[in-house]
Amino acid sequence: MYFSQKGAVRRVRSCLSLLKKGDFAIMGIVLCSVLMSFAALNSRQDDKQLEIIVTINGEEVYRQPWSREQTYTIGLNLPKGAKAFLDVTPEGVQMQPLPFEVCPAQICSHMGRISKPGQVILCVPNKLIVEIARVGSLQLDIDGITE
């Protein structure tokens, strides 16, 4: 049979037999650089201290550590005059539904609760970004990535 197990093993072996010594060196360099870059980027993330960052219209309006202990609400002034409310609970952060006049699609409140570092709530009509980040970690430039 063409696709017998023995044939598959032989095929894989014939692929691997193509490799020369230098190939393994190149793969080793690749793997080492992967590990090194991964380690370098994650070295400052041991403390597990998270913070909530809110950006409206490209301007950072709120940045506070998040301890996952209390429950409170953050009020935010939107450029269109309305006020947005952000519920912070020990489980996560969630947008309260905005009035339809300023946020017709209601996507931001439907995004639900975020709790892990790197997660984001976006409200496009109000240019609002709520972000959870590790304190001192690199932050992603959302405009750049979606371009």
Coil vs helix vs strand at 34:
helix
Min CB(27)–another protein separation in Å: 6
Q: Return all residues near 136 (Cβ < 8 A) that are at least 6 apart.
A: 44
Contact 84, 78 (CB under 8 A): yes
Could you tell me which stretch among 16-24, 52-60, 90-98, 123-131 binds another protein (CB under 8 A)?
16-24
Q: Which of 46, 47, 69, 147 touches another protein (CB under 8 A)?
A: 147
As a whole number of Å, the CA-based R_g of the chain is 24
Asked if 144 touches another protein (CB under 8 A), the answer is: yes
Of 18, 43, 59, 65, the one binding another protein (CB under 8 A) is 18
Enumerate the β-bridge partners of residue 77.
83
Chosen residue from 2, 69, 70, 145 binding another protein by CB under 8 A: 145
Paired tokens of 96: 């309260």
Neighbours of 70 (CB within 10 A): 9
Q: Which of 6, 13, 21, 48 binds another protein (CB under 8 A)?
A: 21
End-to-end CA distance of the chain: 50
Q: How many residues does this entry show for the chain?
A: 147
Confirm or reject binding of residue 37 to another protein (CB under 8 A): yes
Question: Per rule CB under 8 A, is residue 116 in the interface with another protein?
Answer: no
Footprint on this chain of another protein (rule: CB under 8 A): 15, 18-27, 29-31, 33-35, 37-38, 41, 138-141, 144-145, 147
